[in-house]
Every structure is written in structure tokens, then in C-alpha cells.
Structure 1
Amino acid sequence: MSFQSLNAGTQFVATSRDILHQNHITVTIGSDFLKYRALLKRERPQQVLGAPFDPDVHDLNEKNAFWLVARDADGMMMHTQASRLINLGEQSLSGYMLKRFRDFPPAIPDLDLKRSRYRASPGANRIKGNVVYHGEVWMGDTGPYRGTGLSTVLARYGIHEAMCRWDPDTIFGFMARTVAFKGFAERMGYMHNEPGALRWYREGSDRPLEGFLSYLTNEDTRYLLEMPIVDVVDVPEPQKKAA
């Protein structure tokens, strides 16, 4: 039974589209990751395409992946995110990641993959079935949009898209500890955040980059998207379009 057939999230979609329209923000969704990589090279050069969405490594298409790009009133890229479907079957996410965590590195240079490690958290031991990896989340220097709550609206927009396409058992991602401590996981809508899942090292450094596992079950996601958007975020004031 698909997410769409239950008519869940209809109010969220209508309200979020109104908010984005009032703030002159346009959203584009696609599944051509060669095109997405070219867009990032041109408009987000400070952060290269993450390895989990590299079309030279993974067979990404409209059936198993999509990217989302938001642009401001001047047509400038202000936000990105991407999602990818993974069929775990009866294997747990922890079992999958123990072997494959190096396929999900942060977008930073000079990683020492031999010293880096993954630690199975309690939730990862329970997660099975069809899951969605949610990553590539980036917000640019959004000027008048900063602190308005639009990042929350956009993050949930992408989560809703994943639900409509695949109705997955779980949506998960990894988040740097410094970012998680600022409450970004909660602003994105993640209800479960488990520390100590990842520890990345850079060449020549003994100071690790710690990562949280953030996730939503299918039930969590339905609950989140059925709530009025005003109950989960301060709705931003409409921005005036530059003359």
C-alpha cells in the first residue's frame, strides 16, 4: 500500500508549497545524477557530490534515487538533498553498514578509511526491509532566508517525496556530532538520533569526526507529515522579491 493511497501528508504538501511560493523559492526534483553532478560543479563548488550518489559508482535512476534542488528568488541554488533506496531484505542496517560504511563517507578530503570505523547502534540492529538513505543536505548562505524555518520545510519536502515514491520501512542518514548538537536533526524532522555510530579520521590527524545515525520509521514519518506544518516549524514571513 503506497503512501499516496492513504492520502497522508496532503495538508503538509499544500502548506509547504504555499510557503515556498510566497518566498519565491522554486524546487526541482530529478533522477539524472550526471546532470545533478554538473549542477553542483557549477553552483556548489565548495562541496563536491557525495560518494553515495556518485553515478560512476552506483546505478542511480528514477526507480531508486532522486535529487532535489531549491533556488531563491534570484535563481541561485540555496538548498540540496538526495535520497537513494536500499533493499536490505532481512539483513539489518547494522550488518549492512559494518561491511559498507566506507561507501557513505562525509564530503571532506583526506579521509583515512583504514582508521575510520562504524559502531552498530541499537536502532540499526532493528532496521530492516526497504530503507532510504537521505543525504546531500546542504543549505547555502541564504541571506534573508537564514533562520526563517525554510530549511525545515525543504527537508520535510524531500522526506515526503521519498515516502510517495517508495513508502519505505525506514529513512536514515548520518549527521556530524557538531551539527546534531545544534538541533539540526530535530529541525529536519528526525525522531531518532543515536550517537557514536561513525568515527572518521583524516590523514595525519588523531581527532575523529563523530557521526550520529538519524532515522525515521515509516510510522514516525506518517505522524510527522500528517501534522500541520505550523505545529513543527515557525512559518517564515514571505520574502519580497527583488525589483
Structure 2
Amino acid sequence: MSIHYPRLGQKSRRLLDQITLNHGPREQLGHFFLAADKAARDRGITLELSTDFELLREVNRMNLKHWYGLPPTFDSHYSGIDASKGFWLIGRNDDGEIISTQAAHMFDLSDSNLGEAIESLKLFYADPASMRHDGESCTINAPSATQIKGRVVYSGCTWIHPDYRRRHMAVILPRISRALAYTKWDADYTISFVSTKLVEMGVAAAYGYQRVEPAMDWYNSPVGPHYQGTLVWMPQAEMLTDMARFDALLEEAEEKQHRKPDTAEQRPVTN
């Protein structure tokens, strides 16, 4: 089981009390957030919103037994992520233990594009020149990378404690993250990176992404000597369509689990 964390003495706030609808169709967003929050609670998980990225680092460090290291995009010591351009979702069990995470980092790529942000390493570091590792480089070959620009949100850092997998949180958490980023920043695109192996296991499909492209080779980075990532992405219009189908998608996931094992949550989930 997970563990209690220091610095958590303050009373947790319910997710629905933390959301402000700044952009988008209010009725549709309101229905979605109510349904998604209830879906998590029905599965024994209470969600809240946080911008304490030191706590995210701490949660990651204390769960490395069944989680990969924190990607630099979501590590405030590398990327400078803060409340102005990021947030993360905390999932707690009935004992108050943190048993799931999901984060978002917004990038203004109005004057560039995703491909440039990746190859320059600006997607990962606030100052690539001083922060990059020796010999670190990243190449992008996904055709869509140069077309993705504007307000781009990297949604990732998805982790679910092993005791809470097979509860379809991989269906719930990324969709809440995308909807929050949309209403907070009027995001044009949501993107993420998933390893080829996890794509084959159905993780990207569980997240709701239909646009999946072999994307990048990242060498000598904090995540390992050679990471091969698959780009998954979603424009704003598709995000809204996917969000509107949330109830049906969750029902489909439950029916599928009754027919065969749900491989999307069988092993550490992260991106």
C-alpha cells in the first residue's frame, strides 16, 4: 500500500470545489466534471487539485518501486513548472493516502511548434543549455509535430498504485486533466508521449487518444539512455467530443473488462 506523506496536515479540498469554468461550454463541462468525480469516488478514490510540485516530486520518489522516475516536464527543478502553467490531480484512498497522480503543463507555442520545442529540449527544461545532460539530444519524426502549435498542454505523469489498477482510472484521470486544461487555458491541443509497448497494451486507447504516431528518440536523458516515445495528441474539438462521450466510454471499459483482462492497468502507467 501507499504511505502517508509529511506536509499533508491541511484538510484536503474536494475537486469540484476547486474548479473554475473560464472557457468552454459550461453545461457540458459541469456535467462531465460531476460524472468524472463521482466515477472516481465510486472506485474508492477522492480527487483534488494541486499546484504543489515539490509534493509531486516527493510522491514519485517514495513510490519508485512501482513507478518510473518523474519526467523533467513535470519536475519543477528542471522545467520550472508552477501554478501559472501547470497543475496535477491527487487521488487519495479512504485513509488519505495518495494512490494516483495526473499532471498537466501548458506551453505557449504560438511562435514555434511542438517539433521545435522537443528538439530544442524546451519541452523538458526551462534552460536547456545549462540543464541538459551530457550528450543529451532528442529527435522528432512524427509528421504532426510541426503542425501542433498555439496553446499546447502536455498531459502526463499518469500513475496509479498497483492496488487501485483495474478500476478504469486510466479512463478517468487523463480526461479530467484535458478538460481542466481546456477550461483553464483554452488549450488548442493536448499531447502526451507513451512508450510503444504501452501503446500495444492499450494504454493510449484507454486515455482516449486516436492520433498515435511513432515520434521521438531521446538519448541520455533523466528517463534513461534511450527513450523511444510515441506521440499521442488531440485537438480541442476532438477533446470536447471525447468528453461528451465519457459515460459511454466508461461503460464500454467496464464491459470489456468482464470479457477479458484490462491490460491498460496491469503494470506501471506513466508518461
Answer yes or no: is 1:3 the counterpart of 2:50: no
> Partner of 2:43 in structure 1?
23
Give matches, 1:22-61, under 5 Å: 22-43=42-63, 46-61=67-82
The RMSD of aligned alpha carbons is 2.9
> Partner of 1:129 in structure 2?
150
Aligned residue for 1:27, secondary structure, equals strand
Answer yes or no: is 1:231 the counterpart of 2:249: yes
> Partner of 2:184 in structure 1?
165
CA distance in 1, matches of 2:55, 2:150: 30
> Partner of 1:241 in structure 2?
none
Kept after mapping to 2: 8 A contact 1:132/1:171: yes
Give matches, 1:50-199, under 5 Å: 50-100=71-121, 103=124, 114=135, 117-142=138-163, 145-195=164-214, 197-199=215-217
Deviates more, 1:13-22 or 1:228-237: 228-237
Q: Which has the higher contact order (CA 8 A, sep 6+)?
A: 1
Shift of 1:102: 7.8
Aligned residue for 2:88, secondary structure, equals strand
Shift of 1:202: 6.2
Q: What amino acid is the match of 1:38? A: E
Any stretches of 5+ residues in structure 1 without a counterpart?
105-110, 238-243
Q: What amino acid is the match of 1:184? A: V
Q: Quickly say closer, same or farther: Cα 1:120–1:56, change in 2 above 3 A.
A: same
CA distance in 1, matches of 2:232, 2:210: 8
Q: What amino acid is the match of 1:131? A: V
CA distance in 1, matches of 2:139, 2:161: 29
Q: Quickly say closer, same or farther: Cα 1:24–1:194, change in 2 above 3 A.
A: same
Deviates more, 1:12-21 or 1:36-45: 36-45
Shift of 1:154: 1.9
User: What is the number of equivalent residue pairs in this alignment?
Assistant: 225
Kept after mapping to 2: 8 A contact 1:191/1:220: no
* CA deviation map 1:167-203 (0-9, x unaligned): 21101111111011111111011121101x1124569
Deviates more, 1:19-28 or 1:218-227: 19-28
Aligned residue for 2:162, secondary structure, equals coil
> Partner of 2:231 in structure 1?
213
Aligned residue for 2:106, secondary structure, equals strand
CA distance in 2, matches of 1:58, 1:154: 22
CA distance in 2, matches of 1:55, 1:117: 20
Aligned residue for 1:117, secondary structure, equals strand
Kept after mapping to 2: 8 A contact 1:117/1:200: yes
Kept after mapping to 1: 8 A contact 2:190/2:233: yes
CA distance in 2, matches of 1:146, 1:180: 17
Kept after mapping to 2: 8 A contact 1:43/1:77: no
Q: What amino acid is the match of 1:123? A: S
CA distance in 2, matches of 1:88, 1:115: 22
Shift of 1:232: 4.8
Answer yes or no: is 1:14 the counterpart of 2:34: yes
TM-score by length of 1: 0.80
Aligned residue for 2:55, secondary structure, equals helix
Q: Quickly say closer, same or farther: Cα 1:14–1:6, change in 2 above 3 A.
A: closer
CA distance in 2, matches of 1:188, 1:233: 14
Q: What amino acid is the match of 2:217? A: R
Return the structure number with greater helix share: 2
* CA deviation map 1:55-89 (0-9, x unaligned): 22333322210111212233332211211110011
Shift of 1:139: 1.8
CA distance in 2, matches of 1:128, 1:102: 13
* CA deviation map 1:105-136 (0-9, x unaligned): xxxxxx98737531231211211111011121
